[in-house]
Structure 1
Amino acid sequence: MITSLQSNEIDIAIGLTEGWVAGLGKAQAESKIAGYKMVGTYVETPLCWAISAGANREDVKGVEELKGGKMGVSRIGSGSYVMGFVLADTHKWLSSPSTSSSSASAPFSIIPLQTFTRLREAVNDGIADFFMWEHFTSKRYYDNGEIKRIGEIYTPWPSWHIVARPEVIGDERMEEVLEKVNLGIKYFEEHQEEAVEYISTKLDYSAEDAREWMKTVKFAEDVRGVRGSVVQETVTVLKKAGVLGQEVGVEEMVGIRRKE
């Protein structure tokens, strides 16, 4: 999506918070034009990342055993990678940054595996000891016995944000899009059973899981605007993970600011 924004193929996009912030920070570090700014808050609630291990791995039973292990990730800098540092920070497993490095050292060996399928295979084959992925996407594989759930952790920030190319910020068309997203959220809130039907038939969730997911997610009542404190918190974690360096300007990332 970042590439599409930079090439003017799209004007507005919705995606995971950490992905947008990472892209903006890297562009600053390289003195490049990012091609977008953050303009809206889509989902107010954090994302629940399940921590998974191989179904028959008797040596991996709980989160406390993961320090020093092998963490499977989709790619370096991805959400599955960043959340490993959130987990380590929560358990005080991170070493202090050295004077020559902007990030703390990971207490895991990092194994990039690209796809969700390969991550599931890796924890059963012993290539990795654990991986982290969104809870409800993972749940069907707990239910069928392919992998086991050993814990969970939430993002320290609202999970989904809206970005737009700088050229369209303030444009009446962008404002119309944001208002239509608001109307879509209102429709979703007022038609819960219709939402369950759609999710359970189009998105590979059971109706039961769809209802449980709906209990965990809160969309913004008005999506317009981004809180600077949310961006700052995300930057702080991305620095610890080594995704971003020290010199990152939060102000430049936000196109429409929301009151704190």
Structure 2
Amino acid sequence: MTSSTPEQSPLGKAAAYAHQYDATLLFALPRAGKRAEIGITGAAPFFGADLWTAFELSWLNLRGKPQVALAHITVPCETPHIVESKSFKLYLNSFNQTRFADAAEVQARIRSDLSQTVWRGAPVAGSVGVKLLLPEMFDRQPVHELDGLSLDRLDIECTHYLPAPELLTAQTNEAPVSEVLVSHLLKSNCLVTGQPDWASVRIAYSGPQIDQERLLQYLVSFRNHNEFHEQCVERIFMDLWTRCKPIKLEVYARYTRRGGLDINPWRTSHPQALPAHTRTARQ
């Protein structure tokens, strides 16, 4: 398990697939640098987690027969590191020709390796959540879009394609409201490769009413922005938190999968249960 800068990660580089289990393939990236860019230098003003789905997980049983599963992984946002997604893909592929006693052993191995990677350097180490879904559970996995009032219904003019937080405004002189707003128009690009990342986003808040047209223009402004999924969601949260001054705020994005993995960051100003880990149609 290694860590440094995004440019030193496996992203954008040719990489051989390991044929046997190899935990050293995991590459950690510190959260602190990008958080400092958006004004977070101490404790973050949010709770939350990064919800991953691994669609391409396979290993061999003790008789050499291939096994398959889906995996749901929950990485708390309090971890000092994130996992670079290509390294996670290479790590999971290293299970393909490795024999394990059962799914429980695979689950425990993934939980241990990821926990060591993302909690490295923390004064108190925690764990990540890992749930394996075996084939008999596949048909119980629903597809459902994010609930809320669609911002995409608005007929707006868009001229900003790099983050423009100055677009955000709220009615601070009127009675507070509670709203849940959804858009499918969030697009950003990989920080290193520039490859497009597509997402649906849900914003739930209580407080001064946010101008919906300007909020949609703001979300569209990420279209040419290069940043990882987790960093984009935290940037959106902080821009809304500082400019619109809600009493409560929740930002949840579900990104389309790449390399058999999707990443779905969720940030909330107040403790609450995790959102349902349900994929959308584009995932």
TM-score class normalised by the smaller sequence:
under 0.3
Task: Compare the two structures and name the one with the higher helix fraction.
Answer: 1
Task: Compare the two structures and name the one with the higher strand fraction.
Answer: 2
The structure showing larger relative contact order (alpha-carbon pairs under 8 Å, at least 6 residues apart) is 1
